[in-house]
Amino acid sequence: MIWSQTHFPAAMRSLTPSVRAKAIEIANSLLEQGGLDKHDVILTSICEARSWARRRITEADGMRSQGVWDDRQMDSLGGQRQAVS
């Protein structure tokens, strides 16, 4: 069974869309590899997706504190630099 953004396990309903997308990606990969039952695939994918999201937040906080985040963010706005408050 392959899951998608419109068809996924009920346990993933409470996840934010980006975390759910990552959980679905991980779950589908685990299903392809085999070796785990469906319940374990769901639990593992949710846990890993939440860890992925925490790492992204931590990395963004680190980049923001170093001033890197703001430069990248401004570059995505067409190179317009704005003061950061």
pLDDT tens column, 34-84: 999 999 999 999 999 999 999 988 877 776 666 655 544 444 444 444 444
> Residue 78: its pLDDT value, please?
44
> Residue 56: its pLDDT value, please?
87
> Could you give the CA distance from residue 4 to residue 7 in angstroms, rounded to a whole number?
5
Judge whether 22 lies within some domain: yes
> Residue 18: its pLDDT value, please?
95
If one counts the domains in the chain, the total is 1
Judge whether 8 lies within some domain: no
The reported pTM is: 0.71
> Residue 65: its pLDDT value, please?
64
* Residue 14 predicted with pLDDT over 90: yes
> Could you give the CA distance from residue 24 to residue 14 in angstroms, rounded to a whole number?
13
The whole domain housing 26 covers 13-75
> Could you give the CA distance from residue 12 to residue 31 in angstroms, rounded to a whole number?
16
Kindly state the average pLDDT of the residues 3-28.
97
Judge whether 45 lies within some domain: yes
Judge whether 68 lies within some domain: yes
Judge whether 82 lies within some domain: no
Report how far apart, in Å, the C-alpha atoms of 50 and of each of 12, 18, 23, 56, 77 are: 11, 10, 8, 10, 29
More confident site: 27 or 76 = 27
Question: If phi over 0 gives left and psi between -120 and 50 gives alpha, with beta otherwise, what is residue 37?
Answer: beta
Judge whether 83 lies within some domain: no
